[in-house]
Structure 1
Amino acid sequence: MNTKILTLGAMALAMMMGSALAGSGKGTSALDDPAKMSPFFTDAGMKTMKSDAEFKTAWMAMTDEDRAGMMKECGDEAIAKAHDNFCKMTKQLGGAN
């Protein structure tokens, strides 16, 4: 009897974790993280990008690792399409450091 209860508990936990992970599919990219992206935008909704000079300043203030990660994410077609202007600017800068 205890084995059945443990098995059912484990299955319930696995199902809850699966649902939680499935629901978090949106916003898994660093490019969806307001804390990382706000330096590049003039508004909280991240719709209006800052000037080229301000963008470059924010880009250069990032760590090499963060810049590389964002460049990698911009290499993904779906992510790049969702963040078109941002990815165009990162490509123009070429990951410059």
Structure 2
Amino acid sequence: MTLSMVAGSALAAGETGTSALDDPAKMQPFYTDSSMKTMVSKDAFVKAWKAMSPEDQTAMMTACEDEAKNANAANSHPEFCSSVKENGGSK
């Protein structure tokens, strides 16, 4: 019983999101649709990236690096993180 409660708490925490990649306000500029399934063009991505604060950029890069180390289906943003590395990783 206790184990299931702990697991449930962990799952609930994961759903609320603790990384910059789970913040819709930060992620929306990089997608063409509200469901955030279709990425914007490379030029639009770079423009959105440059509009972010250096702190937000660092948080995004760190979150992508963390996901690469601990990738699983629940926390994976491979297309976005690939674009961060390719287009946004350097200013």
TM beyond 0.5: yes
Q: What TM-score do the two structures reach when normalised by structure 1? A: 0.70
Aligned match of 2:82 in 80, 88, 94? 88
Structure 2 Cα separation of the partners of residues 92 and 64 of structure 1:
17
Structural mapping, 1:60-75, within 5 Å: 60-75=50-65
CA RMSD of aligned residues (A): 2.2
Is residue 45–residue 87 contact of structure 2 (8 Å, CA) maintained in 1? no
* Structure with more relative contact order (C-alpha pairs < 8 Å, separation 6 or more): 2
The percent of aligned pairs where both chains have the same amino acid is: 51
* Structure 1 residue 33: Cα displacement: 1.1
* Structure 1 residue 61: Cα displacement: 0.1
Letter paired with 1:96: S
Deviations 1:13-37 (A, max 9, x none): xxxxx79953222222211111110
Structure 2 Cα separation of the partners of residues 54 and 93 of structure 1:
10
Structure 2 unaligned runs (5+)? 1-5
Aligned match of 2:24 in 25, 28, 34? 34
Whichever of the two has the greater Rg, that structure is: 1
* Structure 1 residue 95: Cα displacement: 2.4
